[in-house]
Amino acid sequence: MNYSSLQSLFYQLKNNRAFELFVIFIIIISALEIGAKTYDLPVQAIAFTKMLDLFITLFFLVEIVIRFVAEPNKRHFFKSGWNVFDTLVVVISLIPIDDSEMALLARLVRVFRVLRMISVIPELRILINSLIKALPQLGYVMLLMFIIFYIYAAVGSFLFQT
């Protein structure tokens, strides 16, 4: 099998709705696993969560490789902020967390794996991009609310002064 046929196969897999749903399922499992680790677990459950975490990390690594190989122009892959975010989260989650100095960072990044849901679901990407574009106008909303609250405060202090 040559590279172009592998690239074509990965492109079809990347755009397959069942594959996307499976990635979303793994992200949800990752979130549940992270939540489960916040409790005191029995030894067997701790061993299971460590194996599950390893599987999830390897799955995300394979998924990023599939998406990268499927991209016809490799430079365009890293022009997308979502791809850069996903790649950073996956690469940093490869850091071993066994009581090293980087353990806290690695655990924190594993929590951010849940945010990969945004990059996988196009509707969430559109929503986040729209919210980011609306941030400057939010300042005007806050200014308007300040003016309204100021007027009500002034009227209230006048009406209820003793």
pLDDT digits (tens, 9 = 90+) for 78-102: 888 888 888 888 888 887 766 656 6
Q: Domain count of the chain?
A: 2
Is there a single domain that holds both residue 141 and residue 109? Answer: no
| pLDDT at residue 98, rounded to an integer | 66
| pLDDT at residue 119, rounded to an integer | 77
Mark 28-67 as b/e (b = at least 16 C-beta within 10 Å): eebeebbeebeeeeeeeeeeebeeebeebbebbeebbebb
Is there a single domain that holds both residue 23 and residue 57? Answer: yes
Is there a single domain that holds both residue 81 and residue 131? Answer: no
Is there a single domain that holds both residue 44 and residue 8? Answer: yes
Q: How far apart are CA 101 and CA 114, in angstroms?
A: 23
Is there a single domain that holds both residue 8 and residue 35? Answer: yes
Please give the average per-residue pLDDT across 40-53, as a whole number.
89
What pTM was computed for the model?
A: 0.71
Residue 133, domain extent: 126-162
Of the listed ranges 2-6, 55-59, 66-70, 153-157, the least confidently predicted one is: 2-6
Is there a single domain that holds both residue 146 and residue 114? Answer: no
| pLDDT at residue 148, rounded to an integer | 96
